[in-house]
Amino acid sequence: MVAWKQQVTRVLVEEDLVDFVTNPSTPLKYTSQAELACDVVSEEYEEWVIKDQKLRTFLLSSLSEFIANFVREWEHAWEIWSAVHEICRNELVSKMKIAAKAEIKNTKKENQNVRDYVGRITALVGALVALGDDVTEQEHVQYILEGLPDDYGSLRTIVRARGEQATVAHVEQLMLIQETLVNNINNQLNNQLPVNSLLPLGSLSLSNQGNDNVDDGAGRGRGRGRRRRRGGGH
């Protein structure tokens, strides 16, 4: 339809008819009460009608039969011009919706931080809404989940278990928590710190006590084992 508009506009410009369809002004059919009573149509109006019908015929002939069938019912050239532009607009809107949905599908978290990723998905959802699409909260959440890597598998399970109760804000909060934990683990591993240092302080304390008991028990166990063997020898 873009090519059609360019071609037709070129003809309209050459014939000085652009205003005829973009800013139509219909002359008075009767210029006086006497002409109205006698049904005497003004020459200006008759000339306008002839020009209008010629232009209407030209516009219809320039369209494909499929499109022409949708606008043939309109009486004047400017009405056909407006109707075709509405079709073009709807076609463009449909294409933009398809493009936005494809971009959502292709948007992955990968190396993006949580806020940037969720913000990108939210911006695309906003574009869909502006184009007239109804996007529910659950669909918005699903868009976010679909772009997450395998590391977020457990998070996806938790969110989906909540069903309709899951919100974008809730999902983002869970993702931020997991992002923080993953970043802390990566930082600790990069610094080659002990694994126990990755645990909370309370767990670390309990873990150390447990290790001491295991060590002591193991030592005593080995000693008792030797004594039992000596006893068995006697």
**123-160 per-position pLDDT tens digit:** 999 999 988 899 999 999 999 999 999 888 889 888 88
Q: Give the integer Cα–Cα distance in Å for 19 and 149.
A: 56
Give per-residue burial for 190-215: e unless 16+ CB within 10 Å, then b: eeeeeeeeeeeeeeeeeeeeeeeeee
Question: Of 34, 58, 93, which residue sits at a domain end?
Answer: 93
Q: Is residue 63 part of a domain?
A: yes
Confidence of residue 192 (pLDDT cuts 50, 70, 90): low
Q: Is residue 129 part of a domain?
A: yes
pLDDT at 190 over 90: no
Identity at 72, one-letter amino acid code: R
Contact 148, 111 (CB under 8 A): no
Q: Is residue 228 part of a domain?
A: no
What HEC string does the chain produce? CHHHHHHHHHHHHHCCCHHHHHCCCCCCCCCCHHHHHHCCCCHHHHHHHHHHHHHHHHHHHHCCHHHHHHHCCCCCHHHHHHHHHHHHHHHHHHHHHHHHHHHHHHCCCCCCCHHHHHHHHHHHHHHHHHCCCCCCHHHHHHHHHHCCCHHHHHHHHHHHHHHHHCCHHHHHHHHHHHHHHHHHHHHHHHCCCCHHHHCCHHHHHHHHHHHHHHHHHHHHHHHHHHHHHHHHHC
Alpha-carbon distances of 24 from 54, 66, 124, 139, rounded to whole Å: 15, 26, 38, 45
pLDDT at 1 over 80: no
Q: Per-residue pLDDT tens for 19-65?
A: 889 988 888 999 899 888 898 999 999 999 999 999 999 999 999 88
Q: Is residue 209 part of a domain?
A: no
pLDDT at 194 over 60: no
pLDDT at 210 over 90: no
Q: For 182-186, 205-209, 221-225, which range has the lowest pLDDT when averaged over its residues?
A: 205-209
Q: At what angle do helices 114-130 and 77-106 cross, to 10 degrees?
A: 160
Identity at 11, one-letter amino acid code: V
* Distance in angstroms between the alpha carbons of the first and the last residue of the chain: 105
The range of the structural domain enclosing residue 30 comes to 2-93
What pLDDT does residue 183 have? 81
Confidence of residue 92 (pLDDT cuts 50, 70, 90): confident
What pLDDT does residue 193 have? 52
For residues 86-95, average pLDDT: 86
What pLDDT does residue 70 have? 86
For residues 188-213, average pLDDT: 47
Q: What's the whole-number average pLDDT of the chain?
A: 81
Q: Is residue 160 part of a domain?
A: yes
Q: Please check whether residues 71 and 142 belong to one and the same domain.
A: no
What pLDDT does residue 88 have? 83
For residues 161-173, average pLDDT: 88
Q: Is residue 216 part of a domain?
A: no
Q: Is residue 98 part of a domain?
A: no
Q: Please check whether residues 47 and 129 belong to one and the same domain.
A: no
What is the number of structural domains in the chain?
Answer: 2
Q: Please check whether residues 67 and 129 belong to one and the same domain.
A: no
Long-range contacts of 166-170 (CB under 8 A, 24+ apart): 166/137, 166/138, 166/141, 167/137, 167/141, 168/118, 168/122, 168/137, 168/140, 168/141, 168/144
Q: Please check whether residues 114 and 64 belong to one and the same domain.
A: no
Q: Please check whether residues 88 and 112 belong to one and the same domain.
A: no
Confidence of residue 7 (pLDDT cuts 50, 70, 90): confident
Q: Is residue 172 part of a domain?
A: yes
Contact 120, 138 (CB under 8 A): no
